[in-house]
Structure 1
Amino acid sequence: MNFPERRSLHPTVGASAASSIWRELALQDWVAVVYLAVLLVVTVAGSGSRRPTALAYLSLDITAFVLAIGLSRGKVLTGTLGAIVYRLGLFAAVFGSFTHLQYILPTARAVSVDAEIYAFDKLVFGFEPVEVFDRFVTTSTVEWFSFFYFGYFFILAIHIFPFMFAVKNMRLLAEISFGLITLFCAGHLLYVVVPGYGPYQHLAGSFSHELDGSFWWPLVKATVDAGEVRARTDIFPSLHTAAPTFLALFSVRHRRLWPFRLTWLPMVFFASQIAISTMFLRWHYLIDVLAGLVLAAVVSHLSARVATWEDVKRRGAGKEPVFTAIGR
């Protein structure tokens, strides 16, 4: 089998694939490496009936990531194929592991701190939003917030996939990619540190009004149930809050560019409604949402600066950019 000839302008033309991988690793690659390593350690050290499944799925995620990084950063695959493989490897590492959290989280730490989180909110803030919102629960309000809660997945999809495969501005791609990878990796690891099921389970039976809806609420409930909500202690921080907020901040920062000149204002509105929906629908405590907002703000601040710094640094060192364009 003849691989395409490697074309490179930097001094590693004749270097081995291993040294090329080491040299070309981007900061976001290291974030993913540390993230997967920590997940592996806590899963190996964990216990419970879900441990074998957690290890099997996590091994698949790590294998996909390592192969993708090795083939792309090692220059075994170049051009469009290498660019696609690299993108898919990152996606598998971060979002693939998310779909396996119902096995990883209870294995890593089979406890819940819901009582402590609830007590913290009552002590520090004097109230818990889910209890305040209970009086406003109607079919119409549940459907309204369910629409935005479910829209979270659409918001992610319309940002992630066009950026992965269609955007030609590699500097912009590096910025949003570093931000999302850092945000999700940090969030998933914090799930292990602060495990909880959320008000929907912890405060079940204490509400006066049942959540009900004709279309969007059943979709939300089915989606959450598909992820085995009773096994997932993934509430702190609220990534349902953090991710849309980060994307809204990203859109505002680049509002002079197309399509953000049209989408930044709707994104701000959508992000605000999604954040409220996480509490109205009883999935999150107030501190979860505040932690999500802080995480989004910090990562947004870092991502723009890291992308600029790394672009200059890699150019100066004669390295490939973090991303190479598809179809170049």
Structure 2
Amino acid sequence: MYERLTSDITKAPGDHGPKSGGHPELPGTSELPGASALKGILTLFTIQDAVLTGYLFAITALVARSEPSEIQAQCLRRTMASVLVLVLGCIFARGATSVSPAIRRTVYRMVMPGIVLMNYLTLRDVLPIVRTDSLDLQLLQLDLMLFGVEPALWMERFNQRPIVEWFAFFYFSYFFICGFYMLLAVWLRRPSRHTTEFAIGTGIVYCVGQLGYMAVPGYGPIGALQHMYQGPVDGGFFWKCVIDTVQAGGAMKDIFPSLHTASPLWFALWAFNSARYDKRFLPLAVVTAFFSGNIIISTMLLRWHYAIDVVAGVVLAVSALFLSIRLSRWEEEFRGKMGETAAWIFK
């Protein structure tokens, strides 16, 4: 299957559909005004690049509109630098054909996840200046209206060290799951349409999710509802790992939607979809789904998220699967008609 897919997306330009100028009454594509420039842009950039670039422009605009300050200026420089690095990385990866494909492929694989990680770490400064308010009360009221109870408060009855440590372990595993799937899909697996699906879906999850933080800012039950708990979380080693990690790099107002819900669930769904073509992915999908289920519970038991945050995370993950499959298929066909290779194939 992978050999056939690779063969399909690396055909010579003459093998992709009808050539321009085939209809006697219509001008060839090359004769249309601006057609060459448009084709050049479409050759250098893909949907996954567009998703991340659009996100960065949105962040830049939001930061630029916020109250001027030294932190605001720093955030603005960082986001603009991210846009520049991303654009130059795409141009180099697909445009510098005189450079070895292996080098261009490596640079591109480093730029994409590097930009995502760097911008997440920047959110700690960005979120407070973009939105100074908090919607914790509204989220709590929404939970009470939909569920009749606030799950993060209801689960305090399970605030016992063995239970807390079990779920803290899974919550902390989130960071390793993200790293593992990035390594597997982008670096270890042969490039195919499934690589494009992964990149588009992951871009949707993180870019839409992080914009959601700005649309619906909040501190979560652990901060906003602290006065309603009978005591602190009774955790041990793994709970300390979670707390230390959050304090070191957490964005602090990043609750809606829950990316701890959306990301592992998206990875599990992607693995299940990949298992349709390669059965070796099925055990991985099952294990990831098990971890995802425990992480979802942990987000509320450990007081990080309201239930509505979790619901939004599930919707985001399912939407990413739906869109990534369709967009990657459309892009592969579109680039093929232009005589170009697929998004992750570098010649």
Cα RMSD after superposing both structures: 2.3
Distance in 2 between residues matched to 1:181 and 1:158, nearest whole Å:
16
> Which residue matches 2:208?
186
> Which residue matches 1:25?
45
Match of 1:35 among 52, 55, 58: 55
Check the 8 A contact 2:212/2:256 in 1, yes or no. yes
How do 1:1-328 and structure 2 match up within 5 A? Answer: 10=13, 20-47=40-67, 50-75=71-96, 77-227=99-249, 232-256=252-276, 257=278, 259-324=280-345
Check the 8 A contact 1:21/1:70 in 2, yes or no. no
> Which residue matches 1:5?
none
Distance in 1 between residues matched to 2:333 and 2:263, nearest whole Å:
27
* Alpha carbons of structure 1 residues 18 and 91: separation in structure 2 relative to 1, 3 Å: farther
Q: CA deviation at 1:78?
A: 4.8
Check the 8 A contact 2:44/2:90 in 1, yes or no. no
Check the 8 A contact 2:212/2:257 in 1, yes or no. yes
Q: CA deviation at 1:85?
A: 1.6
* Alpha carbons of structure 1 residues 273 and 197: separation in structure 2 relative to 1, 3 Å: same
Q: CA deviation at 1:108?
A: 1.2
Question: TM-score w.r.t. structure 2 length?
Answer: 0.85
Q: CA deviation at 1:151?
A: 0.4
Relative to structure 2, which stretch is displaced further, 254-263 or 82-91? 254-263
Q: Cα deviations across residues 108-141 of structure 1 (Å, max 9, x unaligned)? A: 1111111111111112221111111001110111
* Alpha carbons of structure 1 residues 288 and 23: separation in structure 2 relative to 1, 3 Å: same
Q: Cα deviations across residues 129-183 of structure 1 (Å, max 9, x unaligned)? A: 1111001110111101100000001111111012222211321111111100111
Check the 8 A contact 2:136/2:218 in 1, yes or no. yes
Q: Cα deviations across residues 258-309 of structure 1 (Å, max 9, x unaligned)? A: 5412211111111111111011100000000000000101111111122122
Amino acid aligned to 2:255: I
Which of 1 and 2 has greater Rg? 2
Amino acid aligned to 2:315: V
Q: CA deviation at 1:228?
A: 5.2
> Which residue matches 1:4?
none
Distance in 1 between residues matched to 2:37 and 2:188, nearest whole Å:
28
Distance in 1 between residues matched to 2:183 and 2:247, nearest whole Å:
25
Q: CA deviation at 1:22?
A: 4.2
Percent of paired sites with the same residue? 34
SS state at 2:226 partner: coil
Q: Cα deviations across residues 241-264 of structure 1 (Å, max 9, x unaligned)? A: 001111111122222425412211
Check the 8 A contact 1:54/1:107 in 2, yes or no. no
Relative to structure 2, which stretch is displaced further, 291-300 or 42-51? 42-51
Distance in 2 between residues matched to 1:42 and 1:78, nearest whole Å:
38
Check the 8 A contact 1:246/1:297 in 2, yes or no. yes
Q: How many residues align?
A: 316
Check the 8 A contact 1:20/1:75 in 2, yes or no. no
* Alpha carbons of structure 1 residues 18 and 90: separation in structure 2 relative to 1, 3 Å: farther
Question: TM-score w.r.t. structure 1 length?
Answer: 0.90
SS state at 1:254 partner: helix
Relative to structure 2, which stretch is displaced further, 43-52 or 290-299? 43-52
Check the 8 A contact 2:197/2:324 in 1, yes or no. yes
5+ long unaligned stretches in structure 2: 1-10, 15-29
Q: CA deviation at 1:227?
A: 2.2
Relative to structure 2, which stretch is displaced further, 19-28 or 117-126? 19-28
Q: Cα deviations across residues 199-238 of structure 1 (Å, max 9, x unaligned)? A: 1000012112421322100000000011255xx3210000
Check the 8 A contact 2:191/2:345 in 1, yes or no. no
Amino acid aligned to 1:165: W
Distance in 2 between residues matched to 1:24 and 1:259, nearest whole Å:
33
Relative to structure 2, which stretch is displaced further, 195-204 or 162-171? 162-171
Amino acid aligned to 2:345: T
